Chain A
């Protein structure tokens, strides 16, 4: 009798669990969160659609990628403070290092996990000036002229701003035979002409393009292209300086969060697909320089001007050192920059 009852109960429980498991075996709806920096909105909007289509065809599962954008420093802080990103695609390696260091969500050597130091595309810093270049701005030296108003975001919160700052510093070092004092004076002079700081690159674009403030915007190359081609083709020009910096915006999986969400496999595939011919083509289309240009549309590639680009490792000894010297609290930027009144 007891055996019969136990058997009945087991059958019921098995039925319940079987039904539950079978419902889980259906095509899944997966959600990823990609925490990115300010100017990548258009890139990932297109890329996410392409990846969702690819993943649906490959696995049958529907994947939706939610995006979070903002200044790279602020975005990294948000992840450190608990924002559960499955992947981060930020403006510079230092911010991702900070997440790894302070949260342990992924290993410290994350940059070795994907090709090209985990940077599937690169960029650089250029100038955006108003139509006709009324202030005659052609190179870094022109930024320190009296009466020139320079727009750049805040290096404390924006990855793009840190690239801008270091590009100016690198130029000054090159021009002055690596004289750090003269480089400091030069960058201080540039920031003396900065009337307002936004927290992110897109905010600075708004300040310059939409609010009509300033004579020159120090911008990501893709952001400058976007402003000219999409927002004001008859109002702006791109000026490529004599030398600029090689910006490598990296990407990585946030292992522990993805594992917790059960999205490890799809999150890995999401990042790997950035290196695929489709991903590279989309990057170039959105004005990012692909690491495998052979996969990009040649028409898109022709839009990128030749520019001499130095690396952060060669000039500043890597991001950790650059961050500590220039952007840490009390660092050179804090000493240089005095907010305008």
Chain B
């Protein structure tokens, strides 16, 4: 025996809170479908009305009401089939990979973003003109400073990789090649070749630098090294840390392997103490300290000026022989269009000439300030112009002026047993002024003047000739 249950409560279908349930289920009852259905319904009604008129005599036994119901059902079924087709098509489309192109580069990704391949890169074409080069010691030249295609990807959401070679300066070098996991924001693991977490300006992207060449403190921190790093953030990004073990590259150097069994440990703590506070002016303040420690033997560094001229190198045959440690307090502050950056680096290394071993402490520091004249926000990641360069419509991009002072002092104990005072300067002091013109997020034109004076480094105990260099750059980054 059949049982019928009738449920009588108030409330209608159209305004019930769970009305969206069916919408969510099908995923297709959107405005577009409604409009399509309305237009379809109009056409179908017109056609069926014509059919109805034409077939009335043959269906005289069927009441108009029943016939109308029958036709209404047929129309609804046709509409529903269209909906089903759209749903199938939408689902198929959702499975396809998505190709994107924009100011952040080109990418291919799965619909949920778990699988991605990004093609990015940047190119820097520089010009160098040495002023007052009385001895004609330097060559004015045009060069491709950096040519770096970047391949980045995400493998199954929690694994990322990056490969970045450099073809600049007529060389081929693998700079970055690493795999990183991001299962936990507090502990992301990175393995491969990348920047050890020490120098502030070194960690800044080459595309976002305030000046064309990094300041002297960067000469005392490693460039790239092979190792393992754990990094993460706490307090919603207020505190960041990075802790790693690396082969142990020389100051300013980039290495693909190691020549001894010892490894360097590196640690960096950096905080944005006001990031989540209501003090807007201090939100862009970041302070931190970094350092490294290890025992190294073998190669030693040499130091270059902004004009990329070597002003200090050790005597041939001198080598590292023991403990090396670095410490690098650092800070930046970006209150609106103004920016400040400061860092100090002290690098100590035991060196030997085979008979004498000394611990040498080299030091460098810099302070830099900038102002985005056109009002955009300054930041550690560069400037994004509000209005991209479009002269026909009176838009000129963003303009930034900058100045800095930086010094590097070599330990006086390095002379004369480990460095030749007639060719290696003991100290370099430089000031620079710069202009950055951001035509768009992708294109930047820069001009710098930097003047470096030296203590020592010339024959007879004299000072090396002051370097006055005019640097220019056209940068394309995507």
- A residues contacting B by CB (< 8 A) are 2, 4-6, 8-9, 12-13, 15-16, 19-20, 23-24, 26, 38, 41-42, 69, 131, 133, 138-139, 149, 195-196, 198-199, 202-203, 205-207, 209-214, 228-242, 305, 307, 340
Contact = CB atoms under 8 A, between A and B. Distances in A.
Given A231-B19, A305-B3, A8 B10 contact: no
Given A199-B84, A233-B11, 15 more contacts: A16-B265, A23-B232, A38-B25, A41-B25, A210-B22, A214-B73, A229-B7, A230-B16, A232-B12, A233-B10, A234-B11, A236-B7, A237-B4, A240-B3, A305-B5
B18 interface: yes
Contact of B81 (A42, A196, A236): A196
Contacts of B3: 239-240, 305, 307
Contact of A239 (B2, B9, B18, B230): B2
Contacts of B390: none
A16 B21 CA distance: 50
Nearest to B186: A23
A211 B76 contact: yes
Contacts of B243: 15-16, 19
A195 B189 CA distance: 57
Contacts of A214: 73
Interface in B290-331: 293-295
Q: Which 5 A-B pairs have the closest CB atoms?
A: A12-B265, A138-B2, A23-B187, A233-B9, A202-B25
Contacts of A238: 4-5, 7
B76 A213 contact: yes
A149 B80 contact: no
A42 B25 CA distance: 12
B106 interface: no
A231 B76 CA distance: 19
Nearest to B321: A1
Given A149-B73, A195-B77, A237 B12 contact: no
A15 B265 contact: yes
A8 B262 contact: yes
B263 A19 contact: no
A6 B26 CA distance: 63
Given A13-B245, A239-B4, A242-B1, A195 B13 contact: no
A210 B76 CA distance: 11
A201 to B, nearest CB: 10
A233 B22 contact: no
29 contacts: A9-B263, A12-B263, A12-B264, A13-B265, A15-B265, A16-B243, A16-B265, A19-B230, A19-B243, A23-B187, A23-B230, A23-B232, A38-B25, A133-B4, A149-B73, A196-B77, A196-B84, A209-B13, A209-B22, A213-B80, A214-B73, A229-B7, A230-B21, A234-B11, A237-B5, A237-B6, A238-B5, A242-B2, A307-B3
Contacts of B4: 133, 138, 237-240
Interface residues of B, number: 48
A12 B262 CA distance: 11
Contacts of A233: 7-11
B73 A213 contact: yes
Contacts of A6: 261-262
Contacts of A23: 184, 186-187, 230, 232
A261 to B, nearest CB: 11
Interface of B: 1-13, 16, 18-19, 21-22, 24-26, 29, 73, 76-77, 79-81, 83-84, 184, 186-187, 189, 228, 230, 232, 243-245, 261-265, 293-295
B265 A228 contact: no
A240 B3 CA distance: 5
Contact of A196 (B22, B26, B80, B295): B80
A131 B262 CA distance: 83
Contacts of B79: 211
Interface centre among B1, B3, B245 (most CB of A within 10 A): B3
A232 B15 CA distance: 10
A207 B77 CA distance: 9
A206 B25 contact: yes
A210 B13 contact: yes
B184 A237 contact: no
A229 B21 CA distance: 13
Contacts of B294: 8-9, 12
A241 B2 contact: yes
A205 B12 contact: no
B262 A5 contact: yes
A69 B22 CA distance: 13
Contacts of B77: 195-196, 213, 340
B26 A234 contact: no
Nearest to A139: B2
Contacts of B264: 12
B16 A231 contact: yes
Contacts of B5: 237-240, 305
B9 A16 contact: no
A234 B12 contact: yes
A199 B90 CA distance: 14
Contacts of B261: 2, 5-6, 9
Nearest to A262: B183
A205 B18 CA distance: 13
A27 to B, nearest CB: 11
Nearest to A133: B4
A9 B25 contact: no
Contacts of B12: 232, 234
A16 B262 contact: no
B265 A231 contact: no
B48 to A, nearest CB: 15
A231 B8 contact: no
A237 B16 contact: no
Nearest to B79: A211
Contacts of B18: 230-231
Contacts of B29: 210
B80 A207 contact: yes
A9 B26 contact: no
Contact of B73 (A26, A133, A195, A239): A195
A12 B232 contact: no
A238 B244 CA distance: 66
A138 B4 CA distance: 7
A15 to B, nearest CB: 7
A20 B1 contact: no
Contacts of B295: 4-5, 8-9
A16 B244 contact: yes
A16 B228 contact: yes
A320 to B, nearest CB: 29
